[in-house]
């Protein structure tokens, strides 16, 4: 069985939609149910067997670095990828961290991606579905019908075999990207220099029929604003009751 030992945790952004909370702390350190968003992610990666997480920093980086040192007794081991000089976006930031991530496969996990698990835990589910012979990248997708705090028209449609297609301009599709992907370093071959979005590489995989998805068996919470944060907290408290 495939083992995923490393992960990229995207933690460098400004969290502008989460203001005024993020005027004083970076979004990854915003608390949810008494635990930072970043700790929710790292603990889930640890439970899935990830041994090392690369965490990129740009906005209020010292706070994130201090937090990582404070949790050094807990897995996974963390390594900082420093983007103080230039914020590189999701694709550029991961490209910069490739020497730390190795050939893969590795997760790329947004630091604000939160969900309640269903019967099938999401990250091991992704690992079981990973097939490099068929796919360049595997995305975790959340059904719009059960998601919290998301008001968009979706990102992808998915075939029964997991192959993905993008939402058309006037279309509504059933799935939103839930903030986690699984890939290898080969996805980044001939990637551009400087800042760029992972969407660029996903579109390239789409064109080759090699972008796949798995459905989240749980409830995804889009924690993008202070109101959405309160909604997620209320939902988690209710589920834990």
Tens of pLDDT along the chain (241 residues) come to 789 999 999 999 998 889 999 999 999 999 999 999 999 999 999 999 999 999 999 999 999 999 999 998 898 999 999 999 999 999 999 999 999 999 989 999 999 888 988 889 999 999 999 999 999 999 999 999 888 888 888 889 999 999 999 988 888 889 999 999 999 999 999 999 999 999 999 999 999 999 999 999 989 988 888 988 888 888 888 775 3
**Rounded to 5 degrees, what are φ and ψ at 43?**
-65, -40
Please give the pLDDT value at position 241.
Answer: 39
Distance CA 88, CA 228 (A): 26
Distance CA 220, CA 117 (A): 9
Distance CA 212, CA 96 (A): 24
Distance CA 127, CA 107 (A): 9
CB atoms within 10 A of CB 86: 12
**Residue in 118, 211, 228 with CA at minimum distance from that of residue 159:** 211
Domains of the chain by start residue, with CATH = 6-240 (3.90.550.10)
């Amino acid at each position: 069985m495939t083992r995923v030992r490393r992960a990229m945790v995207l933690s460098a952004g400004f969290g502008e939609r989460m203001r005024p909370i993020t005027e004083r702390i970076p979004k990854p350190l915003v608390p949810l149910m008494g635990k930072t968003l970043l700790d929710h992610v790292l603990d889930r990666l640890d439970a899935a067997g990830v041994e090392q997480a690369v965490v990129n920093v740009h906005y209020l980086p010292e706070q994130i670095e201090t937090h990582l040192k404070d949790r050094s007794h807990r897995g996974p081991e963390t390594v900082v990828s420093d983007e103080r000089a230039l914020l590189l976006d999701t694709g550029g930031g991961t490209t910069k961290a490739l020497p730390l991530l190795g050939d893969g496969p590795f997760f790329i996990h947004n630091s604000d991606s939160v969900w309640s698990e269903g019967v099938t835990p999401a990250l091991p589910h992704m690992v079981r579905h990973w097939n490099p012979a068929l796919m360049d990248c595997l995305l975790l997708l959340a059904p719009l019908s059960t998601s919290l705090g998301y008001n968009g028209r979706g990102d992808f449609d998915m075939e029964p075999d997991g192959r993905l297609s993008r939402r058309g301009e006037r279309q509504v599709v059933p799935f939103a990207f839930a903030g986690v992907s699984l890939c290898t370093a080969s996805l980044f071959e001939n990637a551009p220099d400087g800042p760029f979005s992972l969407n660029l590489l996903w579109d390239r995989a789409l064109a080759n029929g090699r972008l796949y998805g798995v459905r989240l068996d749980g409830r995804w919470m889009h924690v993008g604003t202070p109101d959405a944060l309160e909604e997620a907290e209320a939902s988690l408290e209710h589920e834990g009751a």
